[in-house]
Chain A
Amino acid sequence: MDSLVGFVGKNYVLMAGDTNAGRSIMRLKDDFDKLVQIDSHKILAKSGEIGDGNQFCNLIIRNVSLYRIRNETELTTKSVAHYTRRQLATAIRKNPYSVNLLLGGYDKKDQKGSLYYLDYLGSSKKINYGAHGYAALFVGSILDRFWKEDLDFEDGLELMKKCLREVEKRLIIGTRCFLIKMINSDGISVVEKVMINSEKKNEIEEEN
C-alpha cells in the first residue's frame, strides 16, 4: 500500500513517498511523512507497519547520532546501510520489523549520492533507482526505460513526476498526494508536496 520511489542523479538523490497512513480500508492521515531524516545528508524512507517503522527509524537515528557524538565524525551512507541491514537481519528470527526501506544519502567525500534498497528480511543492495510497494510494479519499467546516469535536476524531477503520475493512474488504491525530497551537497530539502490529478489531462497541481 505504501509507495516509495527513489533514484540517483547528478550529485543528488531524489526520493518520493506517498503521504497516506491508514488502517485496513481507512485513511487515518493524509499528510504523513515517510521520508525520515537520519542526519544532515541522509534520508530513510520507510514503508510497512506504522509502529515498526517509527520504532526502527528512531533506533537508527539515535544510534547514528550516538556514533557522531562519540567519534566526532559522520557516517557514510554505505556504513549506515550496512548497520541498518544488520539490525533488520538480527531481528528477523526473533522479533521481526515489518519495514521495507530505501536509504538515500549524499557523501561529501565522494561528492556523490547513493541509494540503498533494504528489505524486512535483511537484504540490502546499492541501486541507482528503485521502489517499494505496489508502486514498484508500475514504476520499475519506467525507470528502466528512462533513467540515465547523471540526470540534471530538472530532468530528474520530470522523471519522478512521470513515475508518480503512473502510480496515481494505475494503482486502484487512491494515492494522489506525494512528498518529494532531494538530498544534495547542501543537505535535505523538500522539493514539492505534489497532488496529482490524472483526470485533468496529465496536468499536475502543485501544493507547497
Chain B
Amino acid sequence: MFTLGSVLDNELKSTVEDFSFETNFSTNQLMLPNIEKPFEFAQSIIGLEKDLQENENQLMFHQQKKEERKERALIKGYKGTTTLAFIYEKGTVIAVDSRATSGQYIASQSVQKVVPINSYMLGTLAGGAADCQFFLAHLGRICNLYELRNNETISVAAASKLLNNILYSYRNYGLSVGSMICGYDTRGPQLYYIDSDGSRLKNSLFSVGSGSPFAYGVLDAGYRWDLSKEEALDLGRRAICAATFKDSYSGGTIKVYHIDENGWVKISDDDASELWYEYEKKEKKEKK
C-alpha cells in the first residue's frame, strides 16, 4: 500500500548509490537517433560505412583507415586555435586566443575558449566548439553533484578522470575535443590534458591547437617552476601572442586567467595584434 509515509520513507532512505559516483555516466546519456543501430548511423556520418563495404576484412580498417576517415569526416572539428596552460609554484596560468574560423573565413574574433567548471577549476576548448562546450558544462554539473553528495570539493584528478571516461565511451563517434582541465586543489596546482581519443595526460605544461607548436617554442624557452606571478602571466601572454602572430587560424583577443588557492580570476583581455606591436615598441625603447 502506498501511503504518503511509505513513499517519503523510500525517498529519504539513503542508499549506497547516493554516496558514490553515478555509475551510468559512461553509458549513453545523450540523445541518439531513435533508430535500431545508432552506432552504425554515427559511423556512417563520419564515412566509416564506405570503408566497411570496400574492405571486407574489418580487422585492418580500424588501424589503416583511421587517418583517412578523419579526412573524410563530414563533421569536422576546427582545431584552429591556440590554448595553453601551465602550473608553477604559485598556481596555474591559462592563456587562450579567441578566433573561430570555418575554412578561410574568420567566423568570430570573440569566442570564449575557457569554460568555468567550478570556482577553482577551468576547462579550455579546442576542436569542436559544441562538443567541448557541452562536455565541459556537463562536467560542471557532475562536479556540483559530487560536492553535494560527498560534502567535499572534487579533486582535479577525479574531475578529469570523469570526463576521460565519458569521452572514451564515445571515442568512435567522431567527437573532437582537445581540452585541458586546470585547477587548484589539496595537492596544489594541477593540469590534465583530455582528448576525444580517450587520452588523459598529467604534466606541468600543455598547449593545444593549430598554433600550439609556436606557443610551445616560447613557453619551453621561458618556463621555470619558480616563476613569479607577474613573470608567469607575462610568459603565457607572450606565448599566445607569438602563436597568433605565426598561425593564421589563431587571433582575436588574448585572454589570461590565473588559478590559485582562492579560485580562478580573469587577469586580462588584450587584442592580439595590438599586443604584438606594443611588445615591439617596448623592445625598441629598451634597445635605446
Contacts and interface: CB of A to CB of B under 8 A. Distances in A.
Interface of A: 21, 23, 26, 28-29, 32, 49-52, 54-55, 92-93, 95-96, 98, 120-121
Given A51-B171, A92-B59, A21 B201 contact: yes
Contacts of A52: 198
A23 B206 CA distance: 12
A121 B59 contact: yes
A50 B199 contact: yes
8 contacts: A23-B199, A26-B216, A29-B201, A51-B199, A54-B198, A92-B59, A96-B59, A98-B63
Interface of B: 58-59, 62-63, 164, 168, 171-172, 193, 195, 197-203, 206, 212-213, 216
Contact of B197 (A28, A50, A93, A120): A50
B213 A26 contact: yes
A52 B167 CA distance: 12
A69 B59 CA distance: 36
B62 A96 contact: yes
Contacts of B171: 51
Given A26-B212, A26-B216, A98-B63, A93 B58 contact: yes
A54 B200 contact: yes
Nearest to B199: A50
B8 to A, nearest CB: 38
Contacts of B195: 23, 50-51
Contact of B206 (A28, A49, A95, A120): A28
4 tightest CB-CB pairs across the interface, nearest first? A51-B198, A50-B199, A51-B199, A29-B203
Nearest to A31: B203
A21 B59 CA distance: 25
B198 A49 contact: yes
A154 to B, nearest CB: 34
Given A51-B200, A120-B63, 5 more contacts: A26-B212, A29-B202, A49-B198, A55-B198, A93-B58
A49 B197 CA distance: 8
B190 to A, nearest CB: 14
A157 to B, nearest CB: 29
B168 A55 contact: yes
Contacts of A49: 197-199
A156 B1 CA distance: 74
Nearest to B216: A26
A204 to B, nearest CB: 25
